[in-house]
């Protein structure tokens, strides 16, 4: 009987896309099991690779738009439309992301999500009525105020003057004017896709957990957290929507909260949303195995990351999942308690990080072949 194997990795950041990873894994599967049927279903969890997974996976179309970068510089951002012709897909990181800045230029006090809002505006102006925003990889901590400002929302201080860009300015927020908010938002379905569940403020909030990687000192973290708390208070008063303790509102420096308050968005698990779009569950019946993959497996992988989301769905139908990882970090063993049946590091010899990036496809194919050959071993009774 022909074996059916689903191949569902996410992208390996800085190296290969999810689709390229899936093709490499399938090559390794075929080397070990020439008669196997491989079904390629590349995935993403709201961060890097979400655009490719949703647009490429549905034969959609991509566009390039020059927008305001995280610290005001112009950047050319890629976004796309899925094959249904009505769903725009935006990775906020491509307009407002940490990777767009050198370490010395990172400054969450002033970084803005305005560029992300400019892409949303273009999608609305083009008539797209469903917009998915991936919320990973942000350089920002502005609660989505920059995004909303690009869509006509005004953020004013006590004198009625517009606020400057960035999270620090939110400490002076006194009033929000929605009178010129983009009318297309009332007709659009907006979805924020994320792999985190953090609230807006507090010890597990946007500033405390993610501020340091964006360049925030402990003092700046405290400043930004207080500014977002003021933002949440004014948002609730002027829009009627409480965002302070909403799960996922802290995603992307509070962009989750901004999408909730100003775009009427729904915040969803990124991996579940992607799996729904690509009809992952419909391919599971009859499958013998699922192979997923990610660049680094560690303790953080258990928090709604792509491999765990894939395994959760596969296990529901009794299909085992193995994970091919670029590297193994502290706590990766916890994944065994979250549905992953086996984990294999793809490295086949000692090598530098740069060497592993250059050989990613070769290493993925080799690891997939080794995994399948090991699975054919039967211990004597």
* Residue of 13, 11, 10, 7 lying closest to 27 (CA atoms): 7
CATH number, domain 4-41+284-352+360-375: 3.40.50.10350
pLDDT tens per residue, range 139-161: 999 999 999 999 999 999 999 99
Q: What is the pLDDT of residue 299?
A: 86
Q: Which residues pair with 372 in a beta bridge?
A: none
Q: Give pLDDT tens digits for 84-100.
A: 999 999 999 999 999 99
Q: Which one has a higher pLDDT value, 248 or 304?
A: 248
Residue 241 has pLDDT above 80, yes or no: yes
| Cα–Cα distance measured from residue 110 to residue 157, given in angstroms and rounded to the nearest whole number | 16
Whole-number pLDDT of residue 381:
67
String of b and e for 265-274 (b: at least 16 CB within 10 Å)?
Answer: bebbbbbbbb
Residue intervals in the chain for CATH 3.40.50.10350: 4-41+284-352+360-375
Contact 72/111 with Cβ under 8 angstroms? no
pLDDT at residue 191 tops 80: yes
Distance CA 116, CA 133 (A): 9
Could you please report the per-residue DSSP string of 252-293? HHHHHHHHHHHH--EEEEHHHHHHHHTTGGGG-TT-SEEEEE
pLDDT 10s digits, 162-172: 999 999 999 99
Q: Which CATH superfamily is domain 50-271 in?
A: Glycerate kinase, domain 2 (3.90.1510.10)
On whether the CB atoms of residues 250 and 138 are closer than 8 A, the answer is: no
pLDDT at 229 over 70: yes
CB of 78 within 8 A of CB of 62? yes
Chain segment 103-126, per-residue pLDDT in tens: 999 999 999 999 999 999 999 999
pLDDT of residue 208: 95
* β-sheet bridge partners, residue 133: 90, 192
The DSSP code sequence of 186-221 is GT-EEEEEES----SSSTTSHHHHHTGGGT--HHHH
Q: Where in the chain is the domain with CATH 3.90.1510.10?
A: 50-271
Residue for token pair 């100003």? 262
């Amino acid at each position: 009987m022909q074996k059916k194997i689903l191949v569902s990795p996410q992208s390996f950041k800085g190296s290969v896309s999810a689709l390229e990873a899936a093709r490499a894994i399938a090559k390794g599967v075929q080397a070990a099991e020439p008669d196997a049927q491989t079904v390629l279903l590349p995935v993403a969890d709201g961060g890097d690779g979400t655009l490719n997974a949703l647009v490429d996976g549905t034969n959609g179309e991509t566009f390039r738009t020059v927008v305001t970068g995280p610290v005001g510089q112009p950047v050319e951002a890629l976004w796309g439309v899925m094959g249904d012709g009505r769903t725009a897909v935006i990775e906020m990181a491509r307009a407002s992301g940490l990777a767009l800045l050198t370490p010395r230029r990172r400054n969450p006090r002033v970084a803005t999500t305005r560029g992300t809002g400019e892409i949303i505006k273009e999608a609305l102006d083009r008539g797209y009525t469903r917009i998915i925003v991936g919320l990973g990889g942000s350089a920002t901590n502005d609660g989505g105020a920059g995004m909303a400002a690009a869509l006509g929302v005004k953020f004013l201080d006590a004198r009625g003057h517009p606020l400057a860009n960035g999270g620090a300015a939110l400490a002076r927020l006194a009033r929000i004017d929605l009178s010129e908010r983009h009318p297309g938002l009332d007709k659009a379905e907006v979805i924020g896709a994320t792999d985190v569940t953090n609230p807006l403020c507090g010890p597990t909030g946007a500033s405390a957990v993610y501020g340091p990687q964006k360049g925030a000192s402990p003092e700046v973290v405290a400043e930004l957290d207080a500014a977002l708390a003021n933002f949440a208070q004014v948002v609730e008063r002027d829009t009627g929507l409480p965002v302070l303790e909403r799960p996922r509102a802290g995603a992307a420096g509070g962009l989750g909260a901004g999408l909730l308050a100003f775009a009427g968005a729904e915040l969803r698990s990124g991996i579940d949303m992607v799996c729904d779009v690509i009809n992952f569950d419909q391919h599971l019946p009859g499958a013998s195995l699922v192979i997923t993959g990610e660049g680094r497996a560690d303790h953080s992988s258990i928090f709604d990351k792509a491999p765990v989301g894939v395994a959760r769905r596969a296990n529901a139908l009794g299909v085992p999942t193995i994970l091919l990882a670029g590297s193994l970090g502290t706590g990766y063993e916890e994944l065994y308690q979250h549905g992953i049946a086996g984990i294999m590091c793809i490295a086949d010899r000692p090598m530098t990080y740069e060497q592993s990036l250059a050989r990613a496809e070769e290493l993925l194919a080799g690891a997939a072949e080794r995994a399948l050959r090991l699975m054919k071993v039967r211990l004597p009774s």
